[in-house]
């Protein structure tokens, strides 16, 4: 029996974020080079995007390239940027067919011109789609995002554009403005860390770690993560009894 039938579709996480990790190690385990792992990782991106949209998830955020990833060997960085351009071009038709809106978070201006131009084109072309938002974190790091938000917020405060600073106002300056916080974070490949990903937004998210490498993470693995999530009690600092009274 597929794990899919165990999912309560009425209580799906609205937003799932994923740290896609293990492309390189998976490739090595197959006796191939790292780039081969990234190519196979793109297939997982396609499958998980389609699976999430079909289930009814409203936001899927994928950590595709961190600011720290710029420090990888030049050839790997170039291959990843090329792969991104190719994937965006190839997937545009699927995005339109499935009404998937592409969003991007991160330091988009730091992307190579061709990557940035392709990204902006797909963002624009899919902007009216409404079934699911696929959020790509590109040249993203949470500390960069928070620092950048603080800079712009303090400038607006000094100019008198804002009068008070609170959590809601601060969140508007993050690249995730208008995107709800993820209820579930998934990280593949058996690593247990956040790697500078959505440090503000994950404050109350449930974390799910799996030993599967990203290229091995497909629909059944995704269902398993959601079933696990749905078995948890989310208390947000309250007691179990208080939560049961509310429900």
Q: Could you list the residues that contact ligand FPP (CB under 6 A)?
A: 20-25, 38, 41-42, 45, 62, 64, 69, 83-84, 87, 136, 189, 214
End-to-end CA distance of the chain: 30
CB of 53 closer than 8 Å to CB of 46: no
Distance of CA 43 to the CA centre of its chain: 16
Closest to ligand FPP by CB, 95 or 173: 95
Residues 6+ apart with CB under 8 A from 86: none
- Measured from the CB atom, the residue of 74 and 161 that comes closer to ligand FPP is 74
What H or E segment, with its residue span, contains residue 152? helix 142-158
Whole-angstrom Cα distance, residue 10 to residue 65? 32
Instruction: Report the nearest approach of ligand FPP to the CB of residue 142 (Å).
Output: 16
CA 202 to chain CA centroid, Å, is: 11
Task: Specify which residues 101 forms β-bridges with.
Answer: 133
Minimum distance from residue 79 beta carbon to ligand FPP (Å): 10
Q: How far is the CB of 76 from ligand FPP (least distance, A)?
A: 8
Residue among 172 and 218 whose Cβ is closer to ligand FPP: 218
Minimum distance from residue 215 beta carbon to ligand FPP (Å): 8
Nearest CB to ligand FPP, comparing residues 171 and 194: 194
Sheet of strand 206-209: strand arrangement: 100-105, 132-140, 59-66, 15-19, 184-187, 206-209
Cite the active site residues: 21, 69
Determine phi and psi for 16, rounding to 5 degrees. -115, 130
> Cβ 207 to ligand FPP, closest distance in Å?
18
Q: Which of 141, 133, 139, 147 shows the shortest CA–CA distance to 199?
A: 141
Q: Which is nearer to ligand FPP, 117 or 155 (CB)?
A: 117
The residue whose Cβ lies closest to ligand FPP is: 24
């Amino acid at each position: 029996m597929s794990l899919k039938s165990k999912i309560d579709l009425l209580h799906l996480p609205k937003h799932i974020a994923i740290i896609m990790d293990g492309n390189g190690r998976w490739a090595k385990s197959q006796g191939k080079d790292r780039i081969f792992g990234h190519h196979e990782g793109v297939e997982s991106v396609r499958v998980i995007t389609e699976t999430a949209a079909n289930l009814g998830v409203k936001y899927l955020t994928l950590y595709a390239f961190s600011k720290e990833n710029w420090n990888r060997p030049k050839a790997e960085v170039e291959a990843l940027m090329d792969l991104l351009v190719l994937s965006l071009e190839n997937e545009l038709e699927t995005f339109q067919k499935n009404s998937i809106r592409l969003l991007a978070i991160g330091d988009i201006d730091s992307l190579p011109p061709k990557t940035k131009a392709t990204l902006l084109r797909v963002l624009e072309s899919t902007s009216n789609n409404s079934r699911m938002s696929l959020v790509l974190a590109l040249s993203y790091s949470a500390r960069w995002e928070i620092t950048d938000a603080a800079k712009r917020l303090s400038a607006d405060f000094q100019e008198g554009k804002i009068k008070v600073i609170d959590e809601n106002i601060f969140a508007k300056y993050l690249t995730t403005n208008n995107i709800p916080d993820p209820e579930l974070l998934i990280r593949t490949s058996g690593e247990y860390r956040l790697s500078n990903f959505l440090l503000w937004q994950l404050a109350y998210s449930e974390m799910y770690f799996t030993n599967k490498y990203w290229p091995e993470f497909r629909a059944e693995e995704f269902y398993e993560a959601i079933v696990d999530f749905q078995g948890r009690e989310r208390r947000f600092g309250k007691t179990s009894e208080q939560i049961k009274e509310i429900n």
